A = this chain, B = another copy of it.
Amino acid sequence: MKTYLDCIPCFIRQTVDAGRHTSLDDKQQESLVRLILQEIIDMQFTDPPPVMAAKIHALIREFSNTQDPYSEIKERSNNYALELFPMLKQEVRSSPEPFITALRFSLAGNVIDFGAASTVRDETIRRTLQNAREAHLPQHEINALKRAVEKAESILYIGDNAGEIVFDRLLIEEMPADRVTFAVRGHPVINDVTIADAHRSGIASIASIIDSGSSAPGILLSECSKAFQQTFHDADLIIAKGQGNYESLSEADATITFLLMAKCPVIAGDIGCDVGSFVIKNKC
């Protein structure tokens, strides 16, 4: 997906947010914003948003001398999701359709996206879980995904955000997990998952883990490690969670199932759905 002009305000909001998560004082935060405004002026807008976001967040880390501005946020998100996990797991187990129930929770987890919003309250997560329980999901897409999961010898599940990853575990536990490789980012960026979150969520105990080798908040294949590229090309089924993975892979030459919650008008417009929708999109 290309970068729309509407993405520019969002990059600047992310910069303002990220600056506050560092030890920069008010004056330095203002300088950071001016630096990023200049950087954006000098950028091409033809690449997908994660290309620009990767550059912007690298500059934020460098300017603020902070390796991971969102580390506390990620910890809090993981902790809250892990608090909910036993109850949700029980609900999946007792459900007549465990795969679909787990899929609903995994979709809801995508609300924990600090790229799309400055704050995500616990109440918002609970309400989104409830919305996902009640949402009308496209049955033919679910059936196609279920069949693909059953058939696949190798599944690459590309994670998105901390906290969300705990809900992804529910879904992966309804798959033959020994065939699943879970992908995380190669470096902290926004609140995207890294190897630490794969361990914290428990996914590292049930599936193989690979990192993308890149600090982009999405998958820019040419910037990924050779090992990741190989896994990507060899996978029988790729499941890509969240907006950043959609933005970067929506035009990739691969069979991918996108699972996400459309949280901004740009994504919703590109997909052709309403803001707030849960999206299951099998792309051949």
Contacts and interface: CB of A to CB of B under 8 A. Distances in A.
Interface of A: 5-6, 8-10, 12-13, 16, 19, 29-30, 33-34, 37-38, 40-41, 45, 118, 265
B9 A13 contact: yes
A29 B5 contact: yes
A6 B15 CA distance: 10
A28 to B, nearest CB: 11
A5 B16 contact: yes
A170 B261 CA distance: 41
Nearest to A42: B34
Contacts of A19: 5
Contact of A9 (B12, B29, B34, B41): B12
Contacts of A41: 34, 37-38, 41
Query: Taking each of A6, A9, A16, A45, which has the highest tally of chain B beta carbons within 10 Å of its own beta carbon?
Result: A9
Contacts of A265: 118
Query: Taking each of A6, A37, A38, which has the highest tally of chain B beta carbons within 10 Å of its own beta carbon?
Result: A37
